[in-house]
Amino acid sequence: MAYFERLGANRFRATERTGGAWREDEQHISPALGLLAHLVERDRDARRDDGLVVTRLCYDILGTVPVAEVDVEVRVLRPGRTIELVEAAMSHAGRPVVLLRAWLMAQRDTATVAGTALPSIPAPAELAPWGPSALWPGGFIGSVELRRHLEEPGRGWFWVRTDVPLLADEPVSTLARTAGLLDIANGMTVRADPREVHYPNIDLTAHLLRLPAEGWLGVDATVTFGDNGIGLTSSRLHDETGPLGTLAQTLTVRPRPRG
Protein backbone atom coordinates (compact mmCIF):
# COMPACT_ATOMS: atom_id res chain seq x y z
CA MET A 1 0.00 0.00 0.00
CA ALA A 2 1.34 3.42 -0.99
CA TYR A 3 1.03 6.55 1.16
CA PHE A 4 -1.28 8.22 -1.39
CA GLU A 5 -3.56 7.23 -4.25
CA ARG A 6 -4.35 9.58 -7.13
CA LEU A 7 -8.08 10.24 -7.62
CA GLY A 8 -7.82 12.94 -10.29
CA ALA A 9 -5.60 15.66 -11.70
CA ASN A 10 -5.43 17.51 -8.37
CA ARG A 11 -7.06 15.15 -5.86
CA PHE A 12 -5.44 12.42 -3.78
CA ARG A 13 -6.49 9.97 -1.07
CA ALA A 14 -4.23 9.41 1.94
CA THR A 15 -4.03 5.78 3.01
CA GLU A 16 -3.67 4.36 6.51
CA ARG A 17 0.09 4.28 5.92
CA THR A 18 0.08 8.06 6.56
CA GLY A 19 -1.33 7.65 10.08
CA GLY A 20 0.24 10.19 12.43
CA ALA A 21 2.43 9.91 15.49
CA TRP A 22 0.53 12.45 17.60
CA ARG A 23 -2.90 11.13 16.50
CA GLU A 24 -3.39 8.10 14.29
CA ASP A 25 -6.54 9.50 12.64
CA GLU A 26 -4.51 12.47 11.41
CA GLN A 27 -1.80 12.29 8.78
CA HIS A 28 1.84 12.30 9.71
CA ILE A 29 2.74 15.30 7.57
CA SER A 30 5.91 13.74 6.16
CA PRO A 31 4.35 11.87 3.19
CA ALA A 32 2.30 14.96 2.31
CA LEU A 33 5.51 16.98 2.05
CA GLY A 34 6.88 14.41 -0.36
CA LEU A 35 3.68 14.52 -2.43
CA LEU A 36 3.92 18.31 -2.77
CA ALA A 37 7.56 18.05 -3.88
CA HIS A 38 6.55 15.47 -6.48
CA LEU A 39 3.82 17.72 -7.85
CA VAL A 40 6.21 20.67 -8.10
CA GLU A 41 8.57 18.51 -10.17
CA ARG A 42 5.70 17.17 -12.27
CA ASP A 43 4.52 20.73 -12.98
CA ARG A 44 8.09 21.73 -13.92
CA ASP A 45 8.43 18.81 -16.33
CA ALA A 46 5.14 19.72 -18.01
CA ARG A 47 6.36 23.28 -18.63
CA ARG A 48 10.08 22.95 -19.40
CA ASP A 49 12.83 20.45 -20.13
CA ASP A 50 15.99 22.36 -19.23
CA GLY A 51 16.85 20.56 -15.99
CA LEU A 52 16.09 23.05 -13.22
CA VAL A 53 16.54 21.32 -9.86
CA VAL A 54 14.85 21.95 -6.52
CA THR A 55 17.30 23.62 -4.12
CA ARG A 56 14.96 24.72 -1.33
CA LEU A 57 11.75 23.27 0.08
CA CYS A 58 9.98 25.61 2.52
CA TYR A 59 6.78 24.23 4.02
CA ASP A 60 4.29 25.95 6.31
CA ILE A 61 2.01 23.51 8.12
CA LEU A 62 -1.27 25.37 8.54
CA GLY A 63 -3.20 22.74 10.47
CA THR A 64 -3.77 19.05 11.05
CA VAL A 65 -4.85 16.84 8.15
CA PRO A 66 -7.18 13.85 8.53
CA VAL A 67 -6.37 10.58 6.79
CA ALA A 68 -8.70 11.43 3.94
CA GLU A 69 -8.87 13.11 0.54
CA VAL A 70 -6.82 16.22 -0.20
CA ASP A 71 -6.52 18.63 -3.13
CA VAL A 72 -3.33 20.24 -4.43
CA GLU A 73 -2.80 23.29 -6.65
CA VAL A 74 0.56 24.33 -8.13
CA ARG A 75 1.48 27.73 -9.55
CA VAL A 76 4.63 29.58 -10.59
CA LEU A 77 5.21 32.69 -8.46
CA ARG A 78 8.43 33.87 -10.08
CA PRO A 79 9.20 32.49 -13.55
CA GLY A 80 12.74 32.66 -14.86
CA ARG A 81 15.21 31.19 -17.31
CA THR A 82 17.64 29.90 -14.65
CA ILE A 83 15.78 30.44 -11.35
CA GLU A 84 12.10 30.15 -10.50
CA LEU A 85 9.88 30.07 -7.42
CA VAL A 86 6.97 27.61 -7.40
CA GLU A 87 4.17 27.27 -4.86
CA ALA A 88 2.13 24.15 -4.10
CA ALA A 89 -0.87 24.34 -1.76
CA MET A 90 -2.65 21.36 -0.18
CA SER A 91 -6.19 21.64 1.15
CA HIS A 92 -8.78 19.38 2.76
CA ALA A 93 -12.50 20.11 2.35
CA GLY A 94 -11.62 23.62 1.18
CA ARG A 95 -9.35 24.34 4.17
CA PRO A 96 -5.65 25.04 3.42
CA VAL A 97 -3.43 22.64 5.38
CA VAL A 98 0.11 22.79 3.89
CA LEU A 99 1.88 25.40 1.77
CA LEU A 100 5.15 24.74 -0.07
CA ARG A 101 7.35 27.33 -1.72
CA ALA A 102 10.19 25.76 -3.68
CA TRP A 103 13.14 27.45 -5.37
CA LEU A 104 14.37 25.76 -8.54
CA MET A 105 17.76 26.58 -10.09
CA ALA A 106 19.80 25.71 -13.15
CA GLN A 107 22.94 23.67 -12.54
CA ARG A 108 26.39 24.63 -13.83
CA ASP A 109 29.90 23.24 -13.50
CA THR A 110 31.60 24.58 -10.35
CA ALA A 111 33.86 21.57 -9.69
CA THR A 112 36.97 23.77 -9.48
CA VAL A 113 35.63 25.59 -6.38
CA ALA A 114 33.52 22.83 -4.80
CA GLY A 115 34.07 22.00 -1.11
CA THR A 116 32.39 21.87 2.29
CA ALA A 117 33.22 21.85 5.99
CA LEU A 118 29.99 20.03 6.87
CA PRO A 119 30.97 16.98 8.97
CA SER A 120 29.94 13.47 8.00
CA ILE A 121 28.13 10.94 10.19
CA PRO A 122 28.77 7.19 10.64
CA ALA A 123 27.46 5.02 7.79
CA PRO A 124 24.17 3.12 8.21
CA ALA A 125 25.99 -0.17 8.78
CA GLU A 126 27.80 1.37 11.76
CA LEU A 127 24.59 2.18 13.66
CA ALA A 128 22.27 -0.19 15.49
CA PRO A 129 18.73 -0.80 14.20
CA TRP A 130 16.09 1.00 16.23
CA GLY A 131 12.33 0.51 16.18
CA PRO A 132 10.66 3.93 16.49
CA SER A 133 7.25 2.30 16.94
CA ALA A 134 8.29 1.56 20.52
CA LEU A 135 7.97 5.31 21.16
CA TRP A 136 5.68 6.60 18.41
CA PRO A 137 2.41 5.11 17.10
CA GLY A 138 0.95 5.48 13.62
CA GLY A 139 1.07 3.94 10.17
CA PHE A 140 3.84 6.18 8.88
CA ILE A 141 6.27 5.48 11.73
CA GLY A 142 5.51 1.79 11.36
CA SER A 143 6.47 1.94 7.68
CA VAL A 144 10.07 3.16 8.05
CA GLU A 145 13.36 1.45 8.84
CA LEU A 146 15.72 3.24 11.25
CA ARG A 147 19.32 2.99 12.39
CA ARG A 148 20.11 5.42 15.21
CA HIS A 149 22.71 6.69 17.64
CA LEU A 150 21.38 8.82 20.51
CA GLU A 151 24.22 10.87 21.96
CA GLU A 152 21.99 12.42 24.66
CA PRO A 153 18.33 13.50 24.87
CA GLY A 154 17.73 15.85 21.94
CA ARG A 155 21.02 15.08 20.20
CA GLY A 156 21.95 12.26 17.84
CA TRP A 157 22.01 10.99 14.29
CA PHE A 158 20.12 8.38 12.37
CA TRP A 159 19.51 6.86 8.95
CA VAL A 160 16.00 6.24 7.62
CA ARG A 161 14.47 4.61 4.58
CA THR A 162 11.18 3.05 3.50
CA ASP A 163 10.06 0.66 0.79
CA VAL A 164 6.52 2.09 0.76
CA PRO A 165 5.76 3.99 -2.49
CA LEU A 166 4.88 7.64 -2.08
CA LEU A 167 2.14 7.49 -4.72
CA ALA A 168 0.43 4.37 -6.03
CA ASP A 169 1.09 3.44 -9.67
CA GLU A 170 3.05 6.61 -10.44
CA PRO A 171 6.84 7.00 -10.57
CA VAL A 172 8.34 9.68 -8.31
CA SER A 173 11.88 11.02 -8.07
CA THR A 174 14.43 10.32 -5.38
CA LEU A 175 14.00 13.96 -4.32
CA ALA A 176 10.28 13.48 -3.71
CA ARG A 177 10.87 10.23 -1.80
CA THR A 178 13.49 11.98 0.31
CA ALA A 179 11.17 14.94 0.96
CA GLY A 180 8.60 12.41 2.16
CA LEU A 181 10.94 11.41 5.00
CA LEU A 182 12.21 14.81 6.14
CA ASP A 183 9.62 15.57 8.80
CA ILE A 184 10.63 12.51 10.78
CA ALA A 185 13.71 14.47 11.95
CA ASN A 186 11.73 16.06 14.77
CA GLY A 187 10.98 12.80 16.57
CA MET A 188 13.96 10.49 16.26
CA THR A 189 16.36 12.12 18.77
CA VAL A 190 13.75 12.98 21.37
CA ARG A 191 14.48 15.53 24.09
CA ALA A 192 11.35 14.62 26.09
CA ASP A 193 8.92 11.71 26.23
CA PRO A 194 6.11 12.61 23.79
CA ARG A 195 3.61 11.22 26.28
CA GLU A 196 4.69 14.02 28.65
CA VAL A 197 5.45 16.86 26.21
CA HIS A 198 3.94 17.60 22.81
CA TYR A 199 6.25 19.39 20.36
CA PRO A 200 4.81 19.30 16.83
CA ASN A 201 6.49 21.45 14.22
CA ILE A 202 4.68 24.25 12.42
CA ASP A 203 7.08 24.46 9.49
CA LEU A 204 9.98 22.74 7.76
CA THR A 205 12.68 24.20 5.52
CA ALA A 206 15.28 22.13 3.69
CA HIS A 207 18.18 23.63 1.74
CA LEU A 208 19.74 21.12 -0.65
CA LEU A 209 23.22 21.24 -2.19
CA ARG A 210 22.32 18.66 -4.81
CA LEU A 211 19.82 15.99 -5.68
CA PRO A 212 19.88 13.10 -3.17
CA ALA A 213 21.18 9.67 -4.09
CA GLU A 214 19.10 6.50 -3.81
CA GLY A 215 19.19 4.66 -0.50
CA TRP A 216 19.29 5.83 3.09
CA LEU A 217 18.64 9.41 4.25
CA GLY A 218 20.94 10.47 7.09
CA VAL A 219 19.98 13.11 9.65
CA ASP A 220 22.28 14.68 12.26
CA ALA A 221 19.69 16.31 14.53
CA THR A 222 19.64 18.64 17.52
CA VAL A 223 16.36 19.35 19.33
CA THR A 224 16.19 22.51 21.47
CA PHE A 225 13.34 23.60 23.76
CA GLY A 226 13.29 27.22 24.89
CA ASP A 227 11.69 28.31 28.18
CA ASN A 228 8.89 30.15 26.35
CA GLY A 229 7.01 27.37 24.56
CA ILE A 230 9.11 27.62 21.39
CA GLY A 231 11.57 25.03 20.15
CA LEU A 232 13.77 24.21 17.19
CA THR A 233 14.95 21.03 15.53
CA SER A 234 18.03 21.81 13.44
CA SER A 235 19.60 19.09 11.32
CA ARG A 236 22.27 18.36 8.77
CA LEU A 237 21.15 16.07 5.96
CA HIS A 238 23.22 13.31 4.36
CA ASP A 239 22.94 10.54 1.84
CA GLU A 240 25.39 7.67 1.56
CA THR A 241 27.71 9.76 -0.64
CA GLY A 242 28.11 12.61 1.87
CA PRO A 243 26.54 15.85 3.15
CA LEU A 244 23.35 16.81 1.33
CA GLY A 245 22.07 20.01 2.98
CA THR A 246 20.37 21.37 6.09
CA LEU A 247 16.94 21.22 7.70
CA ALA A 248 15.11 23.38 10.27
CA GLN A 249 11.75 22.92 12.02
CA THR A 250 10.05 25.38 14.41
CA LEU A 251 8.36 23.58 17.33
CA THR A 252 5.42 24.52 19.52
CA VAL A 253 6.35 22.99 22.89
CA ARG A 254 3.37 21.99 25.06
CA PRO A 255 3.98 20.10 28.33
CA ARG A 256 0.94 18.07 29.33
CA PRO A 257 -0.76 19.28 32.52
CA ARG A 258 0.05 17.21 35.59
CA GLY A 259 -2.49 15.80 37.94
pLDDT digits (tens, 9 = 90+) for 223-243: 999 999 999 999 999 999 999
What's the CATH number where 155 sits?
2.40.160.210
- In whole angstroms, give the CA distance from residue 97 to residue 71: 10
pLDDT at 105: 98
Q: Is residue 113 part of a domain?
A: no
Please count the structural domains in the chain: 1
Q: Which residues contact 43 (CB under 8 A, 6 or more apart)?
A: 74, 76, 86, 88
Element (H, E) at 38: helix 29-47
CA–CA separation, 244 and 95 (whole Å): 34
Give the residues of the chain that fall short of pLDDT 70: 259
Q: Which domain holds residue 126?
A: 4-107+122-255
| Residue 95 maps to a domain | yes
User: What is the pTM for the complete model shown?
Assistant: 0.96
Distance of alpha carbon 26 from alpha carbon 97, whole angstroms: 12
Q: Tell me whether residue 251 is in a domain.
A: yes
In a domain, 116, yes or no: no
Residue 114 belongs to some domain of the structure: no
The predicted structure's pLDDT at residue 259: 59
> In the prediction, which pLDDT does 257 show?
81
> Helix, strand, or coil here: 235?
strand
74-99 b/e (C-beta count within 10 Å ≥ 16 → b): beeeeeeeeebebbbbbbbeeeebbb
Residue 17 lies in a domain: yes
Looking at the domain assignment, is residue 115 inside a domain? no
Residue 117 domain flag: no
Nearest to residue 139, comparing CAs of 25, 218, 61? Answer: 25
